[in-house]
Amino acid sequence: MLIRIFRQAFILAYIFLTICALSYTLGRKQIPKVDWAYVTHFYAMMAPFQNYTKNNAELMIYGQDASRKWTKIDYKPYFPFSRGEYAIRIRLTSFRDKKPYYTEIARRILIAENANGKAYTSVRLQWEKWPKSQYDFYGNYTSNQVTNNVMAEYFAK
């Protein structure tokens, strides 16, 4: 009988701490008077939900020609990875000041594109963010829903 009470108390405590971690993960709300040291293990179990966002984001590459028209450049020849691996690698998380590295990437892409017959005068790397769609990664990728943040631009000399 005593073992049964301890077992049920343990299960209830486990469920309660899991709920505490879930409430912090999804709503960033801590349950009052529950010490965070007890919740950390349970918070680690919530890893798939910790960085959920309502937007998609991707680093896009654009080339500008002599008529000043911007054309999207496919990143796959330069980054032959899946979309997920590309998203992680292109963040350059191991560098603090990323601008010189993004500028170098833009320079190399400009050289390669011009060598392949494109006549670009500059290459721009920019993060684009748009709302997620239930149908497709690019489902809500429309001009009125995309926000841009230019990371680097390299001009031909």
Greater pLDDT, 28 or 4: 4
Angle value at C-alpha 101, between 132 and 87, nearest 5 degrees: 25
Q: How far is it, in rounded angstroms, from Cα 23 to Cα 26?
A: 5
Residue with more model confidence, 42 or 72:
72
Each residue of 17-38: b (16+ CB within 10 Å) or e? bbebbbbbbeeeeeeeebeeee
> For residue 50, what pLDDT band results from cuts at 50, 70 and 90?
low
| pLDDT of 36 higher than 70 | yes
Q: Residue 149 has what pLDDT?
A: 93
SS3 122: strand
Judged against a pLDDT cut of 70, whether residue 141 lies above it is answered with: yes
Q: What is the pLDDT of residue 72?
A: 94
E-state strands within the chain:
55-65, 70-73, 120-131, 147-155
Using the Cα atoms of residue 47, residue 51, residue 54 and residue 55 in order, give the sign of their dihedral.
negative
**What Å distances lie between residue 106 and 27, 81, 102, CA to CA?**
39, 18, 6
pTM score of the predicted model:
0.67
State yes or no: pLDDT of 97 exceeds 90. no
Two tokens at 52?
């959920």
Residue 94 has pLDDT above 80, yes or no: no
Please tell me the predicted confidence (pLDDT) of residue 49: 67
d(CA 51, CA 44): 12
* Average pLDDT, integer, range 33-53: 76
Over range 106-123, report the average pLDDT.
94
Q: What confidence tier does 62 reach under pLDDT thresholds 50, 70, 90?
A: very high
**Mean pLDDT across the chain:** 88
